[in-house]
Structure 1
Amino acid sequence: MRELAGRRRSGVQGRRPAAAIALAGLVVLGSGVPASAQTAAGPVTRCQIADPRLPEVSGLVVVGDRMLAMNDGGDQVDVYELDGECQVLTVQSAPLDPFDPEDLAVGADGTVWLADTGDNNAARETVALLALRPDGSSEVYRLAYPDRPRDVEALLLAPDGTPYLVSKEVLGASKVYRPVSALVGSGTVGLTEVAGVEFTLTGTPGGPVGRAGQLMVTGGAVSADGRYLALRTYTDAYVWPLSGSDVAGALAAEPTRIALPEAPQGEAISFTADATGLVVAGEGVPSDVTVVPLTAPPEPAAASEAGAAADPFPGGGTGVSPIAAGVVAALIAAAVVWIGGRLRRRD
């Protein structure tokens, strides 16, 4: 019997037009100052996902010479194993009915973890981590935020197995949570806030929501060797060195920012098997799976912008007055309501 993990499905119908209208004011009021980014060898398209069963890839993990991918949505849990040519080899399924799965990770024991944490309307009393074990069994682990519901599309699974959830914020001030205790298969475990990450405008094009897409976290990854962790927005990736399993400590440092190839809705991110590059993909069919090399060690990302981190629409050099900045903030607040209503998954 299928276990109910959620009540709604996911979809992208109406997402881009609504976002474009709601955020049009951002283009009018200021161009922003792009942050400095890592200069690297050019991205290379590894392959193209054309299988109609994968129209909304939001989670991707490289495992050796294979990849695991999942859709944003559906009425059951399906994880697709892909070869190096993006061809589907196998499908691992579980009799679970997710609400809005958004990201994917693989534990040291081979357990596949799905973050059923999407919440565009910020209305869920609990979210869930879904575990698909190598023996074919599955489990739902429910979690609750300490303050209020959050929309989360990024899962970071530390080397010691601790899961971290990173919120998707339209103003760029993401919060990082982890469980207060070991996960349990019955009942709900609380989450505690352990870190925060500030994202600023970069000028990198891409995504379905205009400039705000440069601030909104859509995926996360930890390298298989445990040396690095990464978060991505619709447009950029941020890479931090990781020591042990101290995810919160890693995120307190300055990351290396990498501008990603422009994509209509880029959400998935993984490290290559040898941690020398990032592998990114997004929604749509066909969808490119692209390898972005890491050719430089993590370094501070624009120290000159540190003072503007709390303001995702800095006025310096943009000609944006405090009044205009206030108007922008009001527009974004309205956009949150608009996007939340229009992006809410189909019933």
Structure 2
Amino acid sequence: MNPRHTRQLMFVLLTALMLVVVAAALLDRAEATPSQPRVTISDPRVTESSGLAVSTDEPGLAYTVNDSGNAAEVFAIDLASGDVVGVTTVRAQFRDVEALALRDGTLWIADVGDNRAERDDTALYAIDEPGRRTATVGAERHPVRLPGGPADVEALLAAPDSDELVVVTKALAGAEALSVRESELGREPATFTRVATDLPALVTDGAFSPDGSRVALLSYGALWTVDPADWSIVGSQSLPPLRQAETVAFTADDTVVVGSEGEDSPLVTLTLDPEPASLGSPATVATDQPATEPTTEPTAAPAPADEGDGSRAIRLGGVGLAGVAVGALAAWRLRSRTRSAGSRRAIR
């Protein structure tokens, strides 16, 4: 395909995607239970919070980081006040950090954001947990690769009592959970292994509960609860109004803090709904067989259990808008080709 046409196709597809996201987010916000922020991060240095990790060693302390285009800094946040109580400058060149995970005194920083799915320099950085201090530190850099080639990733999860690190791709359909062991990381690129597919769409962050019994996956309009044993979705709930939900971390086995990008970003505490029976079949769990293209259509993530006819109508309407946009592009390209062919015949 002509590069110019490729850019036009990507633009239209992204526009269609945003129509779906906005329609779903508006609906979810309208249905969400009102909630007051736990705290608000008002520090002017934190405007694009895109990762969150809660300390297990220092009660009431969390860490966040800005995403692309910002300095390589980790901010320590007091969860009682929202104040920045420490800034750790990392001697590294971050490109697009999108997630944090904390385990056994090591803070993992995921420089894996890739909106255009074109990066060949994605990496995980490891530093000692900073605590409430301001300092400059070095970091261990571990280059990583995805098994299917470049893809956007905004979630990093550290399984407790394990050396497993999991990322979840951000996709409109067929999102994947990918795993790598700390022991596999080094100076040479380590390739993740698929552990599950067909996860919820547009995952912006995720986390393991402290006891490892559940996983929380965040999207723009909903919080999904997943059983890490088979990656089946066991619950979902709408979010309170947030500008752009980007961060989630557990503060207890059944409680999470959800945050947003933007200035004066709130951190909202949510209690996970009691786990009902699985909302659907488990995600497709990967095997040791070589990766192949799926032979069936990806299964869309189930809607929240309390979703009514109006909710489904709006979501389907969003998908319809996406279809209209793609159809319009196809018609435009066909018309352009016809005109081009006519011009060439006239010249001849």
* TM, length-normalised to structure 1: 0.70
Of residues 194, 212, 221, the one that matches 1:235 is 221
**Which residue in 2 is equivalent to 1:188?**
189
- Kindly report which structure 2 residues correspond to 1:129-208, keeping only aligned pairs within 5 A, or say none: 129-134=124-129, 136-159=137-160, 160-169=162-171, 171-179=172-180, 182-199=183-200
Sort the Cα spacing of 1:226 and 1:43 in 2 relative to 1 into closer, same or farther, 3 A.
farther
Residue by residue, what CA displacement relative to the aligned partner does 1:128-161 show, whole Å, maximum 9, x if unpaired?
A: 1111124854111011122210100011111113
- Kindly report which structure 2 residues correspond to 1:277-292, keeping only aligned pairs within 5 A, or say none: 277-292=255-270
> 1:101 aligns to what SS in structure 2?
coil
Of residues 92, 95, 99, the one that matches 1:99 is 95
1:92 Cα deviation from its structure 2 partner: 1.8
Sort the Cα spacing of 1:177 and 1:31 in 2 relative to 1 into closer, same or farther, 3 A.
closer
Structure 1 or 2: larger helix share?
A: 2
- Kindly report which structure 2 residues correspond to 1:239-278, keeping only aligned pairs within 5 A, or say none: 239-241=225-227, 247=228, 249-251=229-231, 253-272=232-251, 274-278=252-256
Task: Tell whether the 8 Å contact from 2:19 to 2:321 is kept in structure 1 after alignment.
Answer: no
**Which residue in 2 is equivalent to 1:296?**
274
> 2:157 aligns to what SS in structure 1?
strand
Task: Tell whether the 8 Å contact from 1:239 to 1:298 is kept in structure 2 after alignment.
Answer: no
1:309 Cα deviation from its structure 2 partner: 6.6
Cα RMSD between the aligned structures?
4.0
**Which residue in 2 is equivalent to 1:5?**
none
Give 2:43's aligned amino acid: D
- Kindly report which structure 2 residues correspond to 1:44-123, keeping only aligned pairs within 5 A, or say none: 44-63=36-55, 64-83=59-78, 84-108=80-104, 110-123=105-118
Supply the distance in 2 between the matched residues of 1:278 and 1:180 (Cα, whole angstroms). Answer: 25
Supply the distance in 2 between the matched residues of 1:238 and 1:91 (Cα, whole angstroms). Answer: 31
Supply the distance in 2 between the matched residues of 1:149 and 1:216 (Cα, whole angstroms). Answer: 16
Identity score, percent: 29
Sort the Cα spacing of 1:250 and 1:43 in 2 relative to 1 into closer, same or farther, 3 A.
farther
Q: Which moved more, 1:19-28 or 1:99-108?
A: 19-28
**Which residue in 2 is equivalent to 1:203?**
none
Supply the distance in 2 between the matched residues of 1:31 and 1:269 (Cα, whole angstroms). Answer: 19
Sort the Cα spacing of 1:40 and 1:31 in 2 relative to 1 into closer, same or farther, 3 A.
closer
1:312 Cα deviation from its structure 2 partner: 7.0
Task: Tell whether the 8 Å contact from 2:16 to 2:321 is kept in structure 1 after alignment.
Answer: no
> 1:182 aligns to what SS in structure 2?
helix
Task: Tell whether the 8 Å contact from 1:143 to 1:179 is kept in structure 2 after alignment.
Answer: no
User: Can you give the 5+ residue segments of structure 1 that lack an aligned partner in the other structure?
Assistant: 1-16, 200-214, 242-246, 335-347
Larger radius of gyration: 2
1:185 Cα deviation from its structure 2 partner: 3.3
User: Can you give the 5+ residue segments of structure 2 that lack an aligned partner in the other structure?
Assistant: 1-10, 131-136, 282-295, 304-308, 331-348
Sort the Cα spacing of 1:296 and 1:24 in 2 relative to 1 into closer, same or farther, 3 A.
closer
Moved beyond 6 Å, runs of 4+: 17-20, 331-334
Task: Tell whether the 8 Å contact from 1:102 to 1:116 is kept in structure 2 after alignment.
Answer: yes
Sort the Cα spacing of 1:85 and 1:250 in 2 relative to 1 into closer, same or farther, 3 A.
farther
Count of aligned residue pairs for this structure pair: 284
Supply the distance in 1 between the matched residues of 2:276 and 2:164 (Cα, whole angstroms). Answer: 23
